[in-house]
Chains A and B, each alone.
Chain A
Amino acid sequence: MKSAILGFGISIPSRRITSEEIAHAWKQDPETMKAGLGVTEKSVPDAGEDTFTLAFEAGRQAIELADIKTSQISAVFVGSESHPYAVKPTSGMVAAALECDPFCHCADLEFACKAGTAAMQIVDSMIRSKQISHGLAIGADCAQSKPGDALEYTAAAGAAAFVMGSTDNKNALCQIDQTLSFTTDTPDFWRANGKQHPEHAGRFTGEPAYFHHVREATKGILEVGKIKPEDIDHVVFHMPNAKFPSRIAKELGFTKEQLEHGFIVPTVGNTYSACSPLGLAHVLQQAKKSDRILLVSYGSGAGSDAFLMTMMRDGVALAPDTRETTYINYCEYQKLTAAH
């Protein structure tokens, strides 16, 4: 028995700051920064947005698309590295705000950028074991970065939510065929208790961290799923910048065309726990029935979750955004992010 995604939703703040703007603030060369990271602008949460509000809006959209009643949801799992509280779960707040039935499994997850996909794995297994009929998995973040650090160019904010249920459901959109995880203890990126900004290990975050785990998880799922790269229609890798996913894709035999639909990092930035989930959400809008999808997330610390999925019907476009993106300068950016 498999589970399927019934509906999905996204929430990305409407404010953006360009890499150009950040580079000017720190007297760095904008072209070098853009070429190096491949990110031209990133999303910035405004004063009233936080991980909960983004998770809520994404969840609302997902439930609407899934066309179910919120009372049918029996599990809400939210993965983030910027939960509003260290102790008081975002998932409980989301479940209550969405008016889910109080008899609902809720917990918050942390595994750096793969906490959102970890949430999906848990909901998937609860459905397959018939413990629940419908569940909501959310990846959401308002990522923090130290002023002047390279992460400032990419640490962004956003949320993606998935309503999951049985493949029998009339709205079943995308079946989860397989999922596996590859985990080690690797100190590439961390944030200590009480610290506002994370630390990272520079070039160590490449081969021993991102590439090793994504490679192993991808190889693993291709083997278990008995499928070759050329048979995959859409690939979504975690996108800490534009370079890493492009490089691993090439190495593993995937083309630019396969990456294209979920490749949102250049204009949104790295939304951490929402990153690969948002990539998936974009794919789900454009994929066709029977398309095969490969999703491989990466969370520092470190681990990768890999999913093989099959579209059960044509993808559904989300309602167009009713807001206009507005661009802010570095001064406004500091005002907004100082307290997050």
Chain B
Amino acid sequence: MEEQPLPAASTFSLMRNTPAAIHRAQKDLQRKLQEGTILSFTTVHHTPEGFPAGPRNIGLIELEDGQKVSGHLISETDQPIAIGMKVLPKMRLSSVNTQGLRTYDVSYEIPVQQTVKQEFPGYVLALTGPSGVGKTTVSVLLSTKVGKYVERVPILTTREPKEGDADEYVHVSPEEFLALKNEGKLATSTCIPSRDEKRWYGYRTEDIDAIWQKKMIPVIITEMNLLQGLSSHYGRRSILSFGLMPPGKSKRQMLSSLLHRLRDRGRDTEKQIEDRLKNAEADLDFFKTRSELFDDVIVNDNVDTVVGQLGGLVLERVKA
């Protein structure tokens, strides 16, 4: 590791690696010692002062616990780095300051023999929106209208089957779900705590792959976290993402129309409806704050219009 040259007398010294700063960074080292996945990477050709001369591979890495870090990537072989590769944490000497004090940091090593699918996987039609807005109705009618080209993807869940559940859920035990998750068989998953338990929801990659094999477009009913996960997993452009909004000129009107629909549906108790409305507010805000996750946000006033719109889009994509 090259020693830093002494700074020129008149230069403001960048005291990054001071004893106290190094001491404080120790806690971060522990957090960073996790395996992870490469979300993005770059090669910095002109490193900043204090680092060995480039080129230096750096990655944006999602750690096992979901947190993200930026880290030096170690790749011994000529194999090109790719988004999606797994990495292992390794303790490394990062730099030595002018007083000889050493800074250690966690670098991420790419183990050999990884192949990551690079081709465009296919399109997924995702419908997001608050409970009661009509996602299931729309998706069912869609598979009737353009049934040759779309198929609904079952949602895996650990929650108990309820009366009135349509056939969109596949119920599994928490152990089964976590096993699938740990084996990497889920495209994405999320845990939604409810009053008395933690409920997991997710989609199996093999269910989606199977639909693509048939040259059809998977249709997914989803919510905020799962949509984010799908976008990360398959890439944003794979998701034909539509938000469904209830009719109403103001948020209060929208929530009111949801309330009526939920009551009409007759599937939930008043308490459950109250919970759903609270979540609905967050869902509506999500359309605004995460607008980049949506190709369009449609008002579900007339189900046939919406189905017609989506159907047309499906046919367009399928022809392409």
Contacts and interface: CB of A to CB of B under 8 A. Distances in A.
**Is there any pair of Cβ atoms, one from A and one from B, under 8 angstroms apart in the complex?**
yes
Interface stretch (A101-109, A202-210, A322-330): A322-330
Contacts of B104: 52-53, 93, 97
Contact of B30 (A14, A84, A99): A99
Interface string A83-118: 011000000010011010000000000000000000
Contact of B107 (A48, A97, A339): A48
A47 B76 contact: no
B1 A339 contact: yes
B102 interface: yes
Nearest to A325: B76
B151 interface: no
A262 B30 CA distance: 33
Interface string B97-120: 000101010010101100000000
A50 B103 CA distance: 12
Contacts of A97: 26, 29, 91, 104
Interface of A: 14, 47-50, 52-53, 56-57, 84-85, 93, 96-97, 99, 322-324, 326, 339-340
Contact of B77 (A85, A326, A339): A326
Nearest to A340: B1
Contact of B109 (A93, A323, A326, A340): A323
A56 B3 contact: no
A339 B30 contact: no
Interface string B2-27: 11000000000000000000000010
Which size bracket describes the interface of B in this complex? 20 to 34
B251 interface: no
B91 A96 contact: no
23 contacts: A47-B1, A47-B52, A48-B1, A48-B72, A48-B74, A48-B93, A49-B92, A52-B102, A53-B91, A56-B91, A57-B91, A85-B100, A85-B102, A97-B26, A97-B29, A97-B104, A322-B88, A322-B109, A323-B76, A323-B111, A324-B76, A324-B112, A339-B2
A47 B92 CA distance: 9
Contacts of B111: 322-323
Contacts of B102: 50, 52, 84-85
Contacts of B204: none
Nearest to B90: A57
Contact of A53 (B30, B77, B92): B92
Nearest to A14: B76
B1 A96 contact: no
Contacts of A50: 1, 93, 102
A52 B1 CA distance: 14
Contacts of B112: 322-324
A326 B26 CA distance: 31
Contacts of A57: 90-91
A97 B93 CA distance: 13
A85 B97 CA distance: 13
B109 A324 contact: no
Contacts of A96: 26
A48 B2 contact: no
Nearest to A94: B91
B94 interface: yes
A336 to B, nearest CB: 9
B110 to A, nearest CB: 9
Contacts of B74: 48
A47 B74 CA distance: 11
Contacts of B109: 322-323
A93 B21 CA distance: 16
A99 B30 CA distance: 8
Nearest to A99: B30
Contact of B93 (A14, A49, A322, A324): A49
What 10 A-B pairs come out closest when comparing CB atoms? A322-B111, A48-B92, A53-B91, A56-B91, A324-B112, A48-B93, A50-B93, A326-B76, A324-B77, A47-B1
B231 to A, nearest CB: 29
A56 B104 CA distance: 11
Contacts of A53: 90-93, 104
A181 B156 CA distance: 64
A310 B42 CA distance: 51
A48 B94 contact: yes
A9 to B, nearest CB: 13
Nearest to B107: A48
B36 to A, nearest CB: 14
Contacts of A324: 76-77, 112
Contacts of A93: 104
Nearest to A53: B91
A47 B52 CA distance: 9
A240 B265 CA distance: 81
A339 B3 CA distance: 7
B96 to A, nearest CB: 8
A281 B48 CA distance: 40
Contacts of B100: 85
A14 B111 CA distance: 12
Interface in B129-161: none
A239 to B, nearest CB: 26
Contacts of A340: 1
A99 B28 CA distance: 12
A85 B94 CA distance: 15
A50 B3 CA distance: 14
A322 B109 CA distance: 9
A153 to B, nearest CB: 23
Contacts of A339: 1-3
